[in-house]
Structure 1
Amino acid sequence: MIHKPLDTTSLMQRLDQRSRDIFREIVEGYLATGEPVGSRTLSKSGIALSPASIRNVMADLTDLGLLESPHISAGRAPTHTGLRLFVDGFLEIGEPTRADRQEIDDRLKSAGTDIEAVMGEASGILSGLTGGAGLVSSPTRDAIVRHAEFVPLGGKEAICVLVTEDGDVENRIIDIPEGLPITTLMEAGNYLSTRVRGRTLSEVTNAIREELRTHRAALDQAASSLVEQGLAQWGGESPGRGRSLIVRGRANLLEDAQAAEDLDRVRQLFNELERQQSLLDILDTTREADGVRLFIGSENQLFPLSGSSVIVAPYMGGGKQVIGALGVIGPTRLNYARVIPMVDYTAKVVGEILTARRKKDAKG
């Protein structure tokens, strides 16, 4: 379920049981308090070693790049590499608590089936329950197509109709030459429907345009123009065009800042949060993953210097196809054991709500 950009297996093999116990205590203490953990604290936590022996192990873990001393003290905190090792090798991911599930269910269901309302509520839920900033991208139109056709409206207009495998029906009005024969509309619709059926528009758009450009398609100029308009209306020129992103809880990131350098990192993060397309690109990486993805610190190319963690998960429409994503941005000391399953569960509920809405629209 978790993205693994590092070879944490080999790192784990270099740690004996004593090193693993001390490393785990340090990380758990840091995640709970946000403060470095010292040898004296560890010696009082039940580890049967002297402070001097613990310090030796801490020095070894520091040499491996798993710990660092962020302040002038004897305490240590996990590096981003150390956090990745902890998540991959030590963290037990379960289900959200009953209270968290109940709140997510109640609040999302109260939002109804309006897409914007569901997105806004989901982002607010993630922000409020995790203490970070919640992110939710609107669903894409890039679903598998069942049928396409052009229907005349009279005069100089026609409707381009697209029906997806999950039952979603979308219409776009396009301009056509006055007096265009119905047979031309049917020809264009049959051509487009045959080539996209069972696939997504993004998969076939370039191939169709190349076929039209090189005159391999058995279509006259008027029908070819209709097909081009249909592709353009459905976002073929810019996949994801028209999508939106809702961000809630920016203030939470400020509250977590504890020093001047923290504030600088948060300001930089705020600047990056304004780059909506870049955020959509990060969320869209979930299309290539099986479930939740986690980026810690520099693993995330969008926020490499912000000292942040990003947890994202896809939500799906009918047919188990990814149509969008949601997630959380927060400090690297997020409560991963709680936040990861919460993000995953929220994505599942959002997908169920949107799928139910589309089925209802298709019947209506």
Structure 2
Amino acid sequence: MTTRHLLDELNDRSREVFRRVVETYLQTGEPVGSRTLTRDMSERVSAATIRNVMQDLELLGLLDAPHVSAGRRPTQSGLRIFVDGLMEVDPVAPTDRERIEQTLGSGSPDIGALLDRVGGALSSMTHGASLVLTPKHEAPIRHIEFVSLGPERALVVLVFSDGQVENRLFTPPAGQTPSSMREAGNFLNALAEGRTLSELRSQVARDIASRRQELDSLAADLIEQGFASWESGATDARLIVRGRANLIETEAADLDRIRVLFDDLERKRDIAQFLDLTEGGDGVRIFIGSENKLFSLSGSSLVVSPYMNSDRKIIGAVGVIGPTRLNYGRIVPIVDYTAQLVGRALSGLKG
């Protein structure tokens, strides 16, 4: 049954009881009893009447009770029904709006630093953990160099046409020599001119396959491992996580599950999927509990919105993760407004 159909099945009293249970639970985090609701209902009804309504809502799967004698709280399905059909979204508060605008108003050309500040501001304003997916660097490559740092450590340095420099550590193949590293660098530089990283990566794969006999085997391995490591490193660097302590403090009873979530984020296993979450269209999307596999173990919710460049292409995302009892009505407009300003700011920096 769709959200609209299920809400249409509820009479006015049932809808009001359901809405007040959810709103009170989101504010307090505690199950809501019938006596609490008798003080807030728009009509005078007894606690016994409200208990009967709550039992009906429980049978519909919208509420549950942690204990027999406890009050009711919304189920995951109930939260989804509330978010889709009953939630009232607040406008962005002037203080929040000013904080976001100040964070993005520095005019700094350092995109990474700017988005790191955005993550810190989102975490501070929402008291949750923030996730910021940064854009891929798509400027053409000017120069590539491999630098040996020891038998098991090496550095690949990429200089882009816009002046940005990326350095990534990797483990080189056994037996690499200064000459194989120079050969690897020369090979890539001959291909790199005018190509972006993604274009170069495709070209390298084709050329290694066709020219492997011409390449010293160590140089070929170095190219593959060094370039793959930079690709992996660049992906790792794309996700900025701030404010994880807020989530751990809020959900102290579920520390193990929260740690699982952040372990996954540290390893950046699901970055591609994180961006996929936003690609269902413009605007904010809300994922509650197990609705997405990234959060199925932690029982957390995610409010996420893509941001776009001047061509209306999705290039990244901003989001807030927290317990399922997030203040959705306040956080949704904050995330939405932040995403819009981030897109404008990055378009301006690259313009």
Q: Does TM, normalized by the shorter one, top 0.5?
A: yes
| CA deviation after TM superposition for structure 1 residue 214, in Å | 10
Pair 1:256 & 2:236 matched: no
Pair 1:53 & 2:49 matched: yes
Partner of 2:313: 321
Q: Give the distance between the partners of 2:333 and 2:61, measured in 1 at CA.
A: 28
Q: Give the distance between the partners of 1:316 and 1:234, measured in 2 at CA.
A: 27
CA contact (8 A) 1:39 1:74 kept: no
Partner of 2:342: 350
Which residue of 265, 272, 276 corresponds with 1:281? 272
| CA deviation after TM superposition for structure 1 residue 210, in Å | 9.4
Q: Give the distance between the partners of 1:298 and 1:149, measured in 2 at CA.
A: 41
Q: Give the distance between the partners of 2:132 and 2:69, measured in 1 at CA.
A: 40
Q: Give the distance between the partners of 2:36 and 2:14, measured in 1 at CA.
A: 16
CA contact (8 A) 1:149 1:161 kept: yes
Q: 1:116 to 1:201 in 2, by over 3 A?
A: closer
Q: Give the distance between the partners of 1:15 and 1:76, measured in 2 at CA.
A: 17
Which residue of 34, 39, 55 corresponds with 2:34? 39
CA contact (8 A) 1:137 1:246 kept: yes
Partner of 1:244: 238
Pair 1:112 & 2:103 matched: no
Partner of 2:22: 27
Q: 1:171 to 1:77 in 2, by over 3 A?
A: closer
Q: 1:95 to 1:286 in 2, by over 3 A?
A: farther
Structure 2 residues without counterparts, runs of 5 or longer? 145-157, 167-180, 216-222
Q: 1:236 to 1:20 in 2, by over 3 A?
A: same
Which residue of 285, 292, 296 corresponds with 1:300? 292
Q: Give the distance between the partners of 1:178 and 1:55, measured in 2 at CA.
A: 73
Q: Give the distance between the partners of 1:35 and 1:238, measured in 2 at CA.
A: 43
Q: 1:251 to 1:285 in 2, by over 3 A?
A: same
User: Could you say what secondary structure the match of 1:288 adopts?
Assistant: coil
| CA deviation after TM superposition for structure 1 residue 353, in Å | 2.1
The answer to which structure, 1 or 2, has the higher relative contact order (CA under 8 A, 6+ apart) is: 1
| CA deviation after TM superposition for structure 1 residue 19, in Å | 1.2
Q: Give the distance between the partners of 2:244 and 2:143, measured in 1 at CA.
A: 46
Identity in percent? 41
Q: 1:19 to 1:41 in 2, by over 3 A?
A: same
Q: 1:247 to 1:265 in 2, by over 3 A?
A: same
Which residue of 41, 46, 64 corresponds with 2:60? 64
Q: Give the distance between the partners of 2:288 and 2:88, measured in 1 at CA.
A: 17
Structure 1 residues without counterparts, runs of 5 or longer? 1-5, 153-159, 216-220, 223-228, 258-262, 360-364
| CA deviation after TM superposition for structure 1 residue 151, in Å | 9.4
Q: Give the distance between the partners of 1:179 and 1:138, measured in 2 at CA.
A: 30
CA contact (8 A) 2:131 2:318 kept: yes
Deviations 1:230-283 (A, max 9, x none): xx96999769635332222122123323xxxxx352332123212232352342
Q: Give the distance between the partners of 1:236 and 1:131, measured in 2 at CA.
A: 34
CA contact (8 A) 1:162 1:170 kept: yes
| CA deviation after TM superposition for structure 1 residue 74, in Å | 4.0
CA contact (8 A) 2:124 2:243 kept: yes
Which residue of 45, 61, 71 corresponds with 1:75? 71
Residues matched between the structures, number? 316
CA contact (8 A) 1:265 1:305 kept: no
Deviations 1:125-146 (A, max 9, x none): 11111111111122123x6x9x
Q: Give the distance between the partners of 1:103 and 1:254, measured in 2 at CA.
A: 24
Which amino acid letter does the alignment assign opposite residue 118 of structure 1? Answer: L
Q: Give the distance between the partners of 1:335 and 1:249, measured in 2 at CA.
A: 16
For 1:151-170, what aligned pairs fall within 5 Å after superposition?
Answer: none
Pair 1:268 & 2:257 matched: yes
User: Could you say what secondary structure the match of 2:295 adopts?
Assistant: coil
